[in-house]
Homo-oligomer: A and B are copies of this chain.
Amino acid sequence: MSDIDSTTVTAPQRILMGPGPSDVDPRVLAALSAPTVGHLDPYFLQVMDELQSMLRQVFRTENELTLAVSGTGSAGMEACVVNLIEPGDRMLIGVNGVFGTRMADVAGRAGAEVTTIERPFGEVFDADEVAAAIEQTQPKVVGLVHAETSTGALQPIEEISKVVHDAGALLLLDTVTSLGGLPVEVDGWQVDAVYSGTQKCLSCPPGLAPVSFSPAALGAMDARKTKVASWYLDMSMVRNYWGGNRAYHHTAPINMNYALHEALRLVLAEGLENRFARHRRNHLALRAGLEALGIHYAVPEVHRLPQLNAVLIPDGVDDAAVRKQLLNEFGLEIGGGLGPMAGKTWRIGLMGAASTNRNVLLLLAGLERCLADQGISVDRGAGVAAANGVYAAQA
């Protein structure tokens, strides 16, 4: 019958040190392939309840409306925007990378009157400039990216949140790359709508988007005069399935929710603070190793994400050739630059299960080999030695 000769899936075993997806623990893959049950099966309802409880712990929130949207991180972004925005609402968005740009696009499609403030890639916003822009535009919602996956920059939130709430606005935050890798304090920072992805520091395959909404965000949703633009992402219906009367909305991705359940269990079993410290430790070792190889960061030290190391590609080095060699010779994936950083930076992820001393040392060893093939002279073993030095000092 068939003219296709596709074989079964024979995926290679990579080491995922790009901007995501990250390495997945075998226990998460095992949960992913547990028997599928119905979306109203009592067992699945229990999985959903536990999942919500664990998500609240990871987001550090008491928000009742905390769940996993049935799409990837960008669906989480769209869910947050379209549920808060009605046509004509004003939204202020900080753009200092690809994902702020994306948020502005999503908001415009939802009918928002979008104002952006902009910073070059790699920089972050301070509270004063956000306050000035709020005063000018009087937005309903202010959208920011906590951890810009395209640049490796970490946006401080606490002070800005005060400015946003003093002006009576809602704060919407992208934590796709931060959640599980460094502190995300949804209640502590008074974040009103937050989304993340599963495939970064939570180390679950891509496919779901954890979200959480504050009581103030719920109030804004309840006060809507128009339907949410997206039926699929309409939280007024989705929340009835995750809580309340379990009314059927759409068929949940059962197995993906199993995987996220297990991934969150592993995050909490390790402990959030331990996990953040691990990400920091491996980042410091990688940094020392890269510097010993003559590779420098694209982001000022104070704003660097430990889990996503954006570094400048040394002059004369062929970006694509190095990434291809790392993949083919070592099964090792790192990311290229996005947007204006394409060809200029590498993005080296140390996210979740991929944030290990083994991966740091292997990458440095492999990179030394690739740089040598590119005719770049480096001290033999310098990267590995520097990283090992950091680990030794920490021990």
Residues of A participating in the B interface, judged by any CB pair closer than 8 Å: 1-4, 6-14, 16, 18, 20-21, 23-24, 27, 29-39, 41-43, 47, 50, 53-54, 57, 70-75, 78, 102, 105-106, 108-110, 197, 199, 205-207, 227-232, 248-256, 258-259, 261-262, 264-265, 268-274, 327, 333, 338
Contact = CB atoms under 8 A, between A and B. Distances in A.
Which 5 pairs between the two chains have the least Cβ-Cβ distance?
Answer: A1-B271, A207-B253, A33-B33, A2-B268, A74-B250
Given A109-B230, A229-B109, A205 B37 contact: no
Given A9-B258, A47-B9, A231 B74 contact: yes
Total copies of this chain within the assembly: 2
A38 B21 CA distance: 6
A228 to B, nearest CB: 7
- Give chain A's interface secondary structure class: loop
A148 B232 CA distance: 19
A11 B35 contact: yes
Contact of A255 (B3, B32, B231, B274): B32
A382 to B, nearest CB: 28
Given A109-B227, A253-B205, A14 B32 contact: no
Contact of A228 (B2, B109, B231, B255): B109
Contact of A71 (B70, B255, B270): B70
A105 B230 CA distance: 10
A72 B206 contact: no
A73 B38 contact: no
A271 B2 contact: yes
B11 A105 contact: no
Contacts of A110: 229
Given A9-B47, A230-B78, A14 B38 contact: yes
B13 A35 contact: yes
A202 B231 CA distance: 24
B47 A250 contact: no
Contact of A258 (B11, B41, B269): B11
A228 B27 CA distance: 39
B27 A39 contact: no
19 contacts: A2-B269, A2-B271, A6-B265, A8-B265, A9-B258, A11-B36, A14-B35, A16-B37, A18-B38, A21-B251, A21-B254, A24-B36, A29-B35, A38-B333, A71-B71, A72-B250, A75-B250, A109-B231, A206-B252
